Amino acid sequence: MNYKLQKELIKLKPNKNRGITSPHKIALLLAVAQLFEEGLIIENRIFFTAELVAYFQKIGLKLAPEYGNKLLIHMPIYHLKTSGIWNLKTIPGYERMLTASNSPKSLKALSEYVEYAWLLPELYQTMLNPVERGLVRNILIGTYFPNSQLSYQEINAETKQYLERQVTDFLNGIAADETNEMEYEVRGSIFKQQVPKMYNYRCAVSGLQVNSAHSISMVDACHIQPWSLNHVDTIQNGICLTPTLHRAFDRGLISISDDYRVIVSKTFMEDKNSSYALRQFNRKPLLLPIQKEYAPSLDFLEWHRANTFHG
């Protein structure tokens, strides 16, 4: 590891509250190191996965248990960009959002305009090397939390058990704990990962399916009833759609009947000869998950038709 990178790592300037060092930035970088260790990051693109969120939370609590359930990952993801070693890739058209003076209020809000994070190339190359990755860990712990005794084996076991439990609850229709904002960040990431997976990464309406080795997805995890309304991140409140159909669904141009067929609104005009016309999908059977229990809830679909669909 070069001397310049070492200097960058020891001047992260984490906040202090009543003499307690904030673990946010350090826990995020250690969580990233752990994902490299696990082989879950293989390129210089760090997506905001459930694994990243869960490792961040578990490591953060070990470093500073006084923070309780205040360890929210969107804060260091956003603020670490001033360090010189951490950068954010914005979604095209949203570049100005990163210059706003106010930080995002949630991971979900941040994900609306940030696609992924990427590391300073020197740090990325360092993270790829197991020995140098260990040096990064030692520098971060020794500089900011010298009295901490982190056991990565223990953290691995706790994190994997926690994620398995959260995925099981997600698939069984059990909502996250309303009193735990940290759990909402994990479940939100699980929702984004598991909904496309249960639909075999295929749009439930158009059938579009693209498989890529470069972490490229052409489908979205779409809430049927908005998360802001009921805070329910379960598979039964989800459906897999392409971005265009996702927007059409959210804006009430399409909906789903009780027999799982697409309904297209009559209240808009479009080019009927276009291969992208929405009306080509009218009455088309929805492509559902193989497991019937993971199909969209009829109650949520009824709510969508009554409150969002334009008829």
pLDDT band at 216 (very low <50, low <70, confident <90, very high): low
Mean pLDDT of the chain: 91
State the pLDDT at residue 283.
97
Of the candidates 109, 123, 162, 95, the one whose C-alpha atom is nearest the C-alpha of residue 28 is: 123
Least confident piece of the model among 25-29, 64-68, 120-124, 237-241: 64-68
Please say whether the beta carbons of 258 and 303 come within 8 A: no
116-125 confidence digits (pLDDT tens): 999 999 999 9
Query: Which pTM does this prediction carry?
Result: 0.88
Query: Using H for helix, E for strand and C for coil, what is the string for the chain?
Result: CCHHHHHHHCCCCCCEECCEECCHHHHHHHHHHHHHHCCCCCCCCECCCHHHHHHHHHHHHHHCHHHHHHCCCHHHHHHHHHCCCEEEEECCCCHHHHHCCCCCCCHHHHHCCEEEEEECHHHHHHHHCHHHHHHHHHHHHHHHCCCCCCCHHHHHHHHHHHHHHHHHHHHCCCCCCCCCHHHHHHHHHHHHHHHHHHCCCECCCCCCECCCCCCCCCCEEEECCCHHHHCCCCHHHEEEECHHHHHHHHCCCEEECCCCEEEECCCCCCCCCCCCCHHHHCCCECCCCCCHHHCCCHHHHHHHHHHCCCC
Predicted confidence (pLDDT) at residue 231 exceeds the cutoff of 70: yes
184-204 confidence digits (pLDDT tens): 899 999 999 999 999 999 999
Residue bearing tokens 């250690």: 30
Top pLDDT among 102 and 5 is at 5
Predicted confidence (pLDDT) at residue 100 exceeds the cutoff of 80: no
State the pLDDT at residue 215.
55
State the pLDDT at residue 154.
92
* CA–CA separation, 12 and 227 (whole Å): 34
Q: How many CA atoms lie within 13 A of 286 on its CB side?
A: 24
Least confident piece of the model among 53-62, 63-72, 249-258, 302-311: 63-72
Cα angle 298, 299, 302 (rounded to 5 degrees) comes to 85
What percent of the chain shows pLDDT beyond 70?
97
Predicted confidence (pLDDT) at residue 10 exceeds the cutoff of 70: yes
What percent of the chain shows pLDDT beyond 90?
72
State the pLDDT at residue 284.
97
State the pLDDT at residue 64.
92
Of the candidates 188, 192, 216, 222, the one whose C-alpha atom is nearest the C-alpha of residue 204 is: 222
pLDDT band at 105 (very low <50, low <70, confident <90, very high): confident
What is the largest distance, in Å, between two alpha-carbon atoms of the chain? Answer: 68
pLDDT band at 213 (very low <50, low <70, confident <90, very high): low
State the pLDDT at residue 101.
57
Predicted confidence (pLDDT) at residue 31 exceeds the cutoff of 80: yes
State the pLDDT at residue 94.
78
pLDDT band at 180 (very low <50, low <70, confident <90, very high): confident
The pair phi, psi for residue 115, each rounded to 5°, is -85, -45
72-96 confidence digits (pLDDT tens): 999 999 999 999 999 999 988 877 7
Give me the mean pLDDT over the 161-172 stretch. Answer: 95
